[in-house]
Structure 1
Amino acid sequence: MLVANKWKDYELIDTGNGEKLERWGGFVLRRPDPQIIWPIEKENEVWTQVSARYHRSSSGGGQWEEKVKLPERWTIGYEGLKFYIRPTSFKHTGLFPEQAANWSWMMDKIRSAGRPIRVLNLFAYTGGATAACAYAGAEVCHVDAAKGMVQWAKENAALSGLADRPVRYITDDVFKFVQREQRRGSRYDAIIMDPPSYGRGPGGEMWKLEADLYRFVESCTAVLTDNPLFFLINSYTTGLSASVLTNILTLTLKRNHGGTITSDEIGLPITASGLNLPCGILGRWEA
């Protein structure tokens, strides 16, 4: 497992009974996680004296119960980057802290490339990877179908002092955008994608990962330069093996460009138990 263990402003304090206890800067949140199928070893005051707790609804969704008045949003930092945190109605906070393991890797790749790097970030959410790549000196194209997430990404970049960096923010269906980039002859040295299990584009376009991922990765190879640097796929789809990503990257990237592939789980260290919490999978191709 690749573990994001360099955080100072974030901590996974404890886990158990389908929930995790997390410190986000100065606030402690308690929220569900379906991977946590073991019991809480000791539900002490650390578990009960939280800033807020997310309760699932039997009819779907859920809501936050604030134990203290939370600000509308607050900031946390990671290795020179800063992000706005805001608890949303879907239990998320606007940031997936385990992705810091990828941010550090991407920054190292870009800084050591010895040449200008153009990055395409697809399904780019609130722009953690966008900020990391821009911070490392890359030119970035950030694409997401949700206008609110694109705006959040812009605000994160500005918060990190990156407002003047060469970043394009695009609100669009990623399939259609990649197709237009092919026709325009646009090329990128690196591609990042974090596709959802299911999704709907701004024009009602449907996405299903199992049906669409291979052909989408294949289409993305058409907008790579002749000397690509890396290609990263993240997935949170339950039941999808990291070996599947190895196979996809082998058939689409390694066959044409050589290089090496790493596929694995990605996770976070749990302070109380010393264990690691699996949070998803990734597949990395690199030259």
Structure 2
Amino acid sequence: MTLLTPPAWADYELIDSGDFMKLERFGQYILARPEPQAIWDCSLSEGEWERLAHATFRRDRQSPERGDWQRLKPIQDPWTVNFKQQELDLTFKLALTAFKHVGIFPEQAVNWTYIHDTVKAMPVERPRVLNLFAYTGGASLAARQAGADVTHVDAVKPVISWSRENMEMSRLDNIRWVVEDAVKFVRREERRGNTYNGLILDPPAYGRGPDGEKWVLEEQLNDLLRTCAALLDRRDFFFIINLYSLGFSAIILDNLMVQHFGNVPEGAAAINRLPNYQSGELFLTDSRQKRLPLGVFSRFSSVTL
């Protein structure tokens, strides 16, 4: 199993974690948010958290997902942060939302650099990349900045608008935006015989499509991957999937990858035959060196970096 963490970047820091919370700095602002996997004790005192934090998220007692932010210091909302790593240079709008999220998942930065470098290394003039459950578009921007022809699919129209703002602030253009249920979209692409050089999936545990379509990860992921396998180019390709669900392990992803992609390239039949294959956990390290797990991933590519 591979453990991956993003490189240090100036506009993000995990300061502390514990007591089912995490304390993070996004640019000039420090936020305290719930984190169900941080079951250990905090390193800093409650008073230090209150002294540092600009805002703290509190869950609504009537909802396991929604809540509101208690502002402890002045904060400009929304605001922007930058991510710079070698040739990759992206700008993101952040905002305090009712679902505790702020617009980026910092642990995914390790995949942004992978996507950028893989697209750059492909012997294809404009690799076609499909990003499903694409949220505010970090992966889409990384692929586009590397020269890919990107299709960005998300079921929530305001999130698509947010992604477009990130594209424009990152001085990019010509991403194809699709507001649609991901399952419906890939099935239609399969019927049309369309293929992509890169597939990126970051599905939630639960969700709803724009027409009320129900998404339940453990019930539908297997069928979705079966369709995705038909969309992946057979010669020049990469594939990334991330899961943030306490019930899923990297071993589950290994089994799914063998089942659906074991014939890429032709003849491959075991996980160690998938080209340049990696699977494991994504994590962030706080200032006291506690490692916070933030999901499992699998990725492989025809390109050796």
TM-score, normalised relative to structure 1: 0.95
Does residue 1:144 correspond to 2:154, yes or no? yes
Corresponding residue for residue 74 of structure 2: 69
Does residue 1:240 correspond to 2:248, yes or no? yes
Mapped contact 2:5–2:110 kept (Cα < 8 A): yes
**Residue pairs, 1:1-287, within 5 angstroms:** 1-43=3-45, 46-49=48-51, 50-60=53-63, 61-79=66-84, 80-116=89-125, 117-163=127-173, 166-257=174-265, 258=268, 259-271=275-287, 273-287=288-302
State the Cα distance separating 1:62 from its structure 2 match.
1.8
Mapped contact 1:198–1:209 kept (Cα < 8 A): yes
Alpha-carbon distance in 1 for matches of 2:167, 2:253: 29
State the Cα distance separating 1:70 from its structure 2 match.
2.0
Alpha-carbon distance in 2 for matches of 1:96, 1:248: 24
Mapped contact 2:207–2:215 kept (Cα < 8 A): yes
What letter matches 2:298 in structure 1? G
SS at match of 2:73: coil
What letter matches 1:10 in structure 2? Y
What letter matches 1:22 in structure 2? E
State the Cα distance separating 1:284 from its structure 2 match.
0.7
State the Cα distance separating 1:45 from its structure 2 match.
5.1
Alpha-carbon distance in 2 for matches of 1:254, 1:285: 11
Alpha-carbon distance in 1 for matches of 2:46, 2:245: 32
Alpha-carbon distance in 1 for matches of 2:138, 2:237: 19
Of 75-84 and 57-66, the range deviating more from structure 2: 57-66
Alpha-carbon distance in 2 for matches of 1:74, 1:25: 9
Alpha-carbon displacement from aligned partner over 1:45-90 (angstroms, at most 9, x marks no partner): 5411211011123222321000123222111111110101101011
Mapped contact 2:34–2:57 kept (Cα < 8 A): yes
What letter matches 2:137 in structure 1? G
State the Cα distance separating 1:108 from its structure 2 match.
1.1
Alpha-carbon distance in 2 for matches of 1:90, 1:207: 18
Question: How many residue pairs align between the two structures?
Answer: 284
Change (3 A) 1:253 1:55: same
Mapped contact 2:234–2:264 kept (Cα < 8 A): no
State the Cα distance separating 1:131 from its structure 2 match.
0.5
Alpha-carbon displacement from aligned partner over 1:102-129 (angstroms, at most 9, x marks no partner): 1111111111113231100000001010
Alpha-carbon distance in 1 for matches of 2:236, 2:224: 17
Mapped contact 2:201–2:241 kept (Cα < 8 A): yes
Alpha-carbon distance in 2 for matches of 1:156, 1:35: 29
SS at match of 2:298: strand
Mapped contact 2:155–2:182 kept (Cα < 8 A): yes
Over 4 Å off, 4+ runs: none
Alpha-carbon displacement from aligned partner over 1:32-51 (angstroms, at most 9, x marks no partner): 10011111233165411211
Mapped contact 1:121–1:142 kept (Cα < 8 A): yes
What letter matches 2:153 in structure 1? V
Mapped contact 1:3–1:276 kept (Cα < 8 A): no
SS at match of 2:9: coil
What is the percent sequence identity of the aligned residues? Answer: 41
Alpha-carbon distance in 1 for matches of 2:183, 2:171: 30
SS at match of 2:263: helix
Of 73-82 and 106-115, the range deviating more from structure 2: 106-115
Mapped contact 1:249–1:285 kept (Cα < 8 A): no
Of 117-126 and 55-64, the range deviating more from structure 2: 55-64
Alpha-carbon distance in 2 for matches of 1:260, 1:209: 26
Alpha-carbon distance in 2 for matches of 1:19, 1:178: 36
